[in-house]
Chains A and B, each alone.
Chain A
Amino acid sequence: MKLRTKAYLFFGTFLVVTAALVIFYAQYIAGDFFKKRTTDDFRIIAEMSESSYLSYLGSMKVRVLDWTSDNTIRQNAKAILSAPPNSAIRAKLADDFGAYVRTKKMPFDKTIIITDLLDRNGIVIASTKPERIGKNEGTEKKGDVETHNFNDAINSKFGEVFFGSIVIGEDESPEPTMNATVRLFDFNEHNDPEPLDAILLVYFENIRQVSESLSSGTGVYVGLQNETGRLTNDAFFQSYKTSEIYLVNRDRVMITHPREILVSGEPHPEVNTLPVRECFDNGKEISGEYDDYKGDRVLGSSMCFKDEGIVIIVEVDKKEVFAPLRKLIIYTIIASVFFIIVGIFALFIFLRQTIKRINDIVRVAMQVSAGKLDSRIGINTKDEIGYLGMIFNDMISSVHEHQKFLQVTKLAFEKEEAKDVAILENLGEGMVTTDNAGNVTIINRAAEKMLGWAKNEIIGKKFVDIVPCIDQDGTVVPPEKRAISMAIDSGVTSSFINAQLGKKNGDLLPIAAIVTPVIIDKKIIGAVSIFRDVTKERELEQTRRDLLSLASHQLRTPLSGTKWLIETLKRGLHGPLTAGQTEYLDQIYKINEKMTTLVHDMLGVLRMEGDTAMGKKEKVDVGLALDAVLGTLDGASRSKNITLSAPKGVKYTIETDSIILQNILECIISNAINYSPNGSKIEINIEKTPGELVFKVKDYGIGIPKDEQARLFERFYRASNAKTYDTGGTGLGLYIATMLAKKIGAHILFESEKDKGSTFFVHVPYFDEPLSKNEAHV
């Protein structure tokens, strides 16, 4: 789904939901409030109408009571009652009564249509309509309800008036009529009322007046118009076109017209609505929403006079009440639609720009990913997208720069690599690299030539399987002991000069080699073996040895001849010698001896300088080796009466070349003897330090002058005091000792003070663990 669609969906949904919420609010929350407020108002109207009605009834009561206090009526009634029935006088009195009321009383109230006088049995004894005389009105019933309250009236006290139900269609009038019954009283000498057995029954045709009283409400609220203006019935009728206030009688028939006076003869609709039922069935008054007599939904309120059989109903068509609310909802919907359209339009405008910018970024990103690194985004807005574009441009620049750099580096690297490959290819020495499984990855031309294997034959194969190795003792080295295996397995670097590799054709190739592990990120990823053919070197070496051997022989021969001849002469085989002759011969002999030593040492130096072989590695018992050296020097120390103190029972065993170690120690100790005065002592000690065994030789001899100490190990160098102290030295002893030390990985140090003595330290490598594990061969 595209960003635009998502945004439309999101904002569209938002707006629709907002509109729905507004409508819901108007419809239900505001609607309920509205309804409650309106029905409360209606309740007040209904109460007010009730008051008007009651007030009107009050005025009727006053009128009827007023008639009972009329002396003529009272006296006339008494006369009728006392006259014998069916007598002429009684008829005459009845006529008088009817005429009096008709002419003197009824004209004051047009709503009174009939006035009857009833005896205690309810029989009409006089009437404004004489034809009614003799009728029994006391038991008149409408349905099962009495039309009049005759029984209440005949037993009532003074001042009580009883109103009957409003009825329609009785014989008295086609119009709805209402009646009032009141008992007549006379007054005695104390002016106290005394009841008569006569009842005045007055019929009113006053629905118009009742309607007026219900619809005006002014009767109650007169003088309070300002405060209650909104609530007067007039206002109510003006506010709502469909507003109605009417009476319903016990027959559930509408008595008064809802808004106007019922036109004579107009049918009275039946009203069996909720308020009517509630009143007559349960005696309750209601306020609320229900269907009216026309079947329309209305809001209304009722006042119930159950006993009188009257319900006052105030109601308004719900549609009209809710019209403003409906208007509000319609306006809200129109506004919502308007805002949705405007919102979407605004969104469209906003998104079009934004999405266009985002699309620009996407387009450039695609170009960049396709390798067009000179693409740039042209957005300059000061918002997040502008910022994004800026950062994106920076990023592309950075990537571009890095790529350039990488290309340059790559070129340089390739160049270097090509150079390296060329160098390796043309290297005079053979080179083979393997991966960490020992399989050949690179073999250069020299190695191919030396071993007789071509690249394609050997690459990918295990070197130690293809090319066998024979050590200096002529033993085939097992694969796991091969230097390459050791380098890969243990990270050991090995170098050696006296092994032989098996060539493809089965010949053996003498080599010197160095094998190194290749370590990247602390992980061994393979091994590199560099080796060279030492056939020529070995031949040269042999030649050199032969030459040296011959030279030493040729030099020694005359020296040994001289020596032996002098010795022979001194033995006196050719006659006795004079003292002078003996002295001369001794001098010549000494010179000859010095010459012999010199030749011996020089030849030793020459031999060692040309000899690249390292010392052997064999287990050497340090105690035994030291004893052998001391044994050799025993004579020399004794001749100078020098005490040699050395540790006894030394238990160290080191892996080194025994002969070389002994030669070094012999050189150091014999120097100590040579340069110590007669009768002094020499202390020898052995100390173990981490990785080394240190032989310490301390003498109390002539010492070495400070400024000459630096040159002590130079060839032929002799300290100034040594030259004069012992003329026999050649200046080669320490030089030879240092050369020997190198062969076994040892080194020699010293500290010395002139005339006080010297201490020489021979540091020999020493490992607690035997080194046999690390022995390695190509």
Chain B
Amino acid sequence: MNHILVVEDEDFLVRALKDNLTSEGYTVSVAMDGEAVFDELAKKKPSLILLDILLPKKNGFDVLKDIRSHLEYQLIPVIVLSNLGEDSEIKKALELGANDYFVKSQHPINEVMEKVKEYMQGKGSMKM
């Protein structure tokens, strides 16, 4: 159970995340738009979802809402990785059930990795 779903539409970010996560020993599947999320979830249920907000076809808030209302996936921790830094957006994501929120440009990838490890080891706080 060390599978992680990365929902991100930018290739270079997918690449950076995938490299780092793989190097930590996790398996990674990627959804490049909002609608692809549930296909990927269906293929393989992850232990953690890293979710971007601004996505083609269906935005991250809607995806988060759907996950949290889906019986099978609602308990999967979701860390939002977004460059939207407004208070209102962070607040909204947390209200919709995100477990954590990182403004990507302001945090080194190591910090993200550390947080991922916490969740994967079951130490991440589950704010449900």
Q: Are B83 and A556 in contact (CB under 8 A)?
A: yes
Q: Which of A567, A573, A596 contacts B105 (CB 8 A)?
A: A596
Interface residues of A in 266-293 (CB under 8 A from B): none
Interface residues of A in 558-589 (CB under 8 A from B): 559-561, 563-565, 567-568, 571, 573-574
Residues in A with CB closer than 8 Å to B15 are: 565
**Residue B19 at the A interface, CB < 8 A?**
yes
Q: Are A565 and B105 in contact (CB under 8 A)?
A: no
Q: Which of A553, A563, A567, A596 contacts B84 (CB 8 A)?
A: A553
Decide: A564 near B103, CB < 8 A? Known: A549-B86, A549-B89, A556-B85. Answer: no
Interface residues of B in 88-128 (CB under 8 A from A): 89, 103-106, 108-110
Docked pose: A567 CA to B17 CA in angstroms: 11
**Residue A218 at the B interface, CB < 8 A?**
no
**Residue B1 at the A interface, CB < 8 A?**
no
Q: Are A553 and B83 in contact (CB under 8 A)?
A: yes
Docked pose: A561 CA to B110 CA in angstroms: 13
* CB proximity of B18 to chain A, nearest CB, Å: 10
**Residue B13 at the A interface, CB < 8 A?**
yes
Q: Are B16 and A564 in contact (CB under 8 A)?
A: yes
Q: Are B54 and A553 in contact (CB under 8 A)?
A: yes
Decide: A568 near B84, CB < 8 A? Known: A553-B54, A556-B103, A596-B105. Answer: no
Q: Are B54 and A567 in contact (CB under 8 A)?
A: no
Q: Which of A545, A554, A599, A600 contacts B86 (CB 8 A)?
A: A545
Q: Which of A557, A567, A574 contacts B83 (CB 8 A)?
A: A557
Interface residues of A in 523-578 (CB under 8 A from B): 545, 549-550, 552-557, 559-561, 563-565, 567-568, 571, 573-574
Residues in A with CB closer than 8 Å to B62 are: none
Decide: A596 near B20, CB < 8 A? Known: A545-B86, A556-B85, A561-B10. Answer: no
Q: Are B105 and A560 in contact (CB under 8 A)?
A: yes
Q: Are B20 and A568 in contact (CB under 8 A)?
A: yes
Residues in B with CB closer than 8 Å to A552 are: 83-86
Q: Are B109 and A596 in contact (CB under 8 A)?
A: no
Docked pose: A139 CA to B64 CA in angstroms: 185
Residues in A with CB closer than 8 Å to B86 are: 545, 549, 552
**Residue B29 at the A interface, CB < 8 A?**
no
Docked pose: A539 CA to B23 CA in angstroms: 47
Q: Are B10 and A557 in contact (CB under 8 A)?
A: yes
Docked pose: A559 CA to B17 CA in angstroms: 15
Q: Are B12 and A565 in contact (CB under 8 A)?
A: yes
Q: Are B109 and A549 in contact (CB under 8 A)?
A: no
| B102 nearest CB neighbor, chain A only | A560
Residues in A with CB closer than 8 Å to B12 are: 561, 565
Residues in B with CB closer than 8 Å to A565 are: 12, 15-16
Docked pose: A564 CA to B104 CA in angstroms: 9
Q: Are A556 and B108 in contact (CB under 8 A)?
A: no
Q: Which of A545, A564, A599, A600 contacts B109 (CB 8 A)?
A: A564
Q: Are B105 and A563 in contact (CB under 8 A)?
A: yes
Q: Which of B82, B106, B108 contacts A553 (CB 8 A)?
A: B82
Q: Are B104 and A556 in contact (CB under 8 A)?
A: yes
Q: Are B106 and A596 in contact (CB under 8 A)?
A: yes
Residues in B with CB closer than 8 Å to A574 are: 19
Q: Which of A550, A554, A564, A599 contacts B13 (CB 8 A)?
A: A564
Q: Can you name 7 A-B residue pairings with CB atoms under 8 Å?
A: A556-B105, A559-B105, A560-B83, A561-B16, A563-B108, A565-B12, A571-B23
Given contacts A561-B13, A564-B16, A600-B106, 13 further A-B contacts (CB under 8 A): A549-B84, A554-B83, A556-B104, A557-B83, A564-B104, A564-B109, A565-B12, A565-B15, A567-B16, A567-B108, A568-B19, A596-B105, A596-B106
Chain A interface residues (CB < 8 Å from chain B)? 545, 549-550, 552-557, 559-561, 563-565, 567-568, 571, 573-574, 596, 599-600, 603
